[in-house]
Amino acid sequence: MYLCLYFCAHVVSCHAMPASSPAALPGLVDADVAEHGLPRQSLIPLFACLLVAHGHLILLLLLTGSTFLIWFGPTPRLAVADPDLIREILLSRAEHFDRYESHPMVRQLEGEGLVSLRGEKWAHHRRVLAPTFHMENLKMLLPFIGKTVVDMAEKWVTMADPASGEVEIDVSEWFQIVTEDAITRTAFGRSYEDGKAVFKLQTQLMAFASEAFRKVFIPGYRFLPTKKNTSSWKLDKEIRKNLVTLIGRRQEATDDERLQGCAKDLLGLMINASSNGGRRGQPVSPITVNDIVEECKTFFFAGKQTTSNLLTWTTVVLAMHPEWQERARHEVLEVCGAHDIPCREQLAKLKTLGMILNETLRLYPPAVATVRRAKSDVVLGGYHIPRDTELLIPIMAVHHDARLWGPDATQFNPARFADGVARAAKHPTAFIPFGLGARMCIGQNLALLEAKLTVAIILQRFEFRLSPKYVHAPTVLMLLHPQYGAPVIFRSRPSSQTPDHRL
């Protein structure tokens, strides 16, 4: 019964029309398709939509080429996997394209913050929040993040079987604790404890939303007063109420109390901006309490899931490839020692670990695709794109394209990044895990710094391999994650081993 409903739901949401239809794109008729080289759908249309719905854009790319037309219900989307065209959309001609509006259910979860905003309001919020993610500011958070990771590692040691010295850990669950702590400190600073309580509620709300995404989509279902919908609404209200209270407390503090001797946190910067307005000489809407609430929700959603998924996949691939695990460990021990929490300067020297993180992001990008909307009629790579056309950039498909990455495109090979990101592929825009251009992920520095620190501490203390229970099933639920978790077996390294040991 469930499979039948699931199939029917996708028929409704992904009903396809042939690309030769006069409605193939608003204003783009069959003659335009032929004249400008846009390929017609070369698969059974419904099957193609089902592939897209499940994130399997790689197969479509292989079967249709780097630019193809797909349908989401009545909405046509032009999938663009050509790196030159992607560069135009996201960078050189980005002013002609805008972020498309997310589904209401997604917006409720991720908040109406930086990810969703457009125009001058987006630009103003980006300017205000940028100092939070400057490397000098993030450096002040490293000792706190490091302590959280060390505490986690010590718990794993106490959980180990006395006979074997091993413990099985589902890292996909544990890494969420680490990332949650990091983003709470980044968002709330000295209001950490209050922020932690708020984000605990947000975690519960995310659990409800994740479950809803797994179910068949029924239009209007989210408005029905079901038990879970009612619980979700109550949680959202409580989160908002607690954040407003927290913001009020911080607004009562003096400027010196807010920032002196502390890292610049997201909450403090936005409160200052709400008092001081925008850039001098530029009219801009003031940042309101509601804006601050939405930004906190956005930061929690984006920061927690993106980094925890990166840590999970990195641990999985290192467990799969012990030779790279040993190379990374050797580097960490040589640069950072066997026990000390690595500092920012030491992390910058971990080239092999950086290559491994980049290769993990290539194979398992947090978001499998991103969508832009044409703000006006525009010519893109010789194609006439009418206004309001949605353009789908299949990030994961581009990252796995053998034409860009070579015959081993689907294989784990960090060595491809030995000469840097720009030279890893045949085109510099072939690697876009955090996007490109002005809307590139603002939290990229935090995610990579946190991931590098966490993996380095784990390599110092443990050797690890995949559990026999592990099933490799990457799946898309807003972001790319392991469907059945990521059980990994850890074994403590001998405490007597020193960083002077060589491979």
- The single-letter DSSP state of residue 468 is T
| Cα separation, 312 vs 486, whole angstroms | 7
Here the tokens at position 381 are: 């790579």
Beta carbons of 404 and 423 less than 8 angstroms apart: no
| Cα separation, 60 vs 496, whole angstroms | 53
- Per-residue pLDDT tens digits of the chain, which is 503 residues long: 333 323 233 333 333 333 333 233 333 433 343 444 444 443 334 334 444 444 455 666 655 567 878 777 677 788 899 999 999 999 999 999 998 777 666 677 777 888 888 888 999 999 999 988 899 888 888 999 999 999 999 999 999 999 999 999 999 999 988 898 888 888 888 777 888 888 888 888 877 766 666 554 566 667 778 787 888 888 888 988 888 888 888 877 655 554 455 667 888 888 887 766 545 545 556 788 889 888 888 888 888 888 999 999 999 999 999 999 999 999 999 999 998 999 999 999 999 999 999 999 999 998 888 999 999 999 998 888 999 999 999 999 999 999 999 999 999 999 999 999 999 999 999 999 999 999 999 999 999 999 999 999 999 999 999 999 999 998 887 788 898 999 999 999 986 344 443 33
In the chain, the amino acid numbered 490 is F
| Cα separation, 266 vs 283, whole angstroms | 22
Q: Smallest Cα–Cα separation from 173: which of 69, 65, 305?
A: 305
Report the binding-site residues: 441
Q: How open is the CA angle 191-196-200, to the nearest 5 degrees?
A: 155
Name beta bridge partners: 373: 98, 390
The values of phi and psi at residue 260, to 5°, are: -60, 125
pLDDT of 74: 72
In the chain, the amino acid numbered 482 is P
pLDDT of 60: 61
The values of phi and psi at residue 390, to 5°, are: -95, 135
pLDDT of 11: 31
Q: How open is the CA angle 364-368-371, to the nearest 5 degrees?
A: 155
pLDDT of 458: 98
Q: List Cβ neighbours of 482 (8 Å cut-off, separation of 6 or more).
A: 172, 312, 313, 316, 472, 473, 474, 475
The β-bridge relationship of strands 383-385 and 370-374 is unpaired
Beta carbons of 61 and 394 less than 8 angstroms apart: yes
pLDDT of 284: 59
Here the tokens at position 283 are: 């009219």
The values of phi and psi at residue 263, to 5°, are: -65, 150
pLDDT of 205: 80
- Digit-coded pLDDT (tens) for 376-431: 999 998 888 999 999 999 999 999 999 999 999 999 999 999 999 999 999 999 99
Report the binding-site residues for heme: 441
- Taking the CA atoms of the chain, what radius of gyration do you get in angstroms? 24
Q: How open is the CA angle 451-457-459, to the nearest 5 degrees?
A: 100
pLDDT of 227: 82
Q: How open is the CA angle 451-454-459, to the nearest 5 degrees?
A: 120
Q: How far apart are the first and last CA of the chain?
A: 56
Which residue has tokens 């980094």? 307
Instruction: For 320-428, list the strands marked E by DSSP.
Output: 370-374, 378-380, 383-385, 390-393
| Cα separation, 110 vs 125, whole angstroms | 16
Q: Which domains does the chain have, with CATH numbers?
A: 1-103+369-432 (3.30.43.20)
pLDDT of 363: 96
Beta carbons of 413 and 362 less than 8 angstroms apart: no
Question: Residue 257 to residues 54, 131, 254: CA-CA distances in angstroms?
Answer: 49, 18, 5
CB atoms under 10 Å from CB of 268, counted, come to 23
169 three-state secondary structure: strand
Q: At what angle do helices 351-363 and 444-461 cross, to 10 degrees?
A: 120
pLDDT of 34: 43
Question: Residue 486 to residues 73, 149, 167, 231, 315: CA-CA distances in angstroms?
Answer: 34, 18, 13, 29, 9
- pTM for this model (two decimals): 0.83
Sign of torsion, CA 216 218 219 220?
Answer: negative
